[in-house]
Amino acid sequence: MLIINVPSLLQGSADTGFYTRREWRQLASDEQHSYLDAIRCMTETHSKLNLNTSRYDDFTYAHIHTVNETHGVALSMPWHRYFIWVWEQTLREECGYRGYLPLVAFSERQKLGFLIMV
Q: Which tens digits make up the pLDDT trace of 24-38?
A: 889 999 999 999 999
Tell me whether residue 7 is in a domain.
no
Cα of first residue to Cα of last residue in the chain, in angstroms, is: 18
Angle at which helix 76-95 crosses helix 29-44, to 10 degrees, equals 90
Tell me whether residue 33 is in a domain.
yes
Helix/strand/coil percent split, the chain, to 5: 55, 5, 45
Q: How confident is the model at residue 111 (pLDDT cuts 50, 70, 90)?
A: low
Task: List pLDDT tens digits, range 80-106.
Answer: 999 999 999 999 999 999 999 998 877
Task: List pLDDT tens digits, range 38-76.
Answer: 999 999 999 999 999 999 999 999 999 998 888 988 889
Tell me whether residue 83 is in a domain.
yes
Q: With 0.85 as the threshold, say if the pTM is over it.
A: no
Q: Which domain holds residue 85?
A: 21-111
Tell me whether residue 8 is in a domain.
no
Tell me whether residue 90 is in a domain.
yes
- Quote the number of domains for the chain: 1
Q: Whole-number mean pLDDT of the chain?
A: 81
Give the C-alpha separation, 118 to 113, whole Å: 15
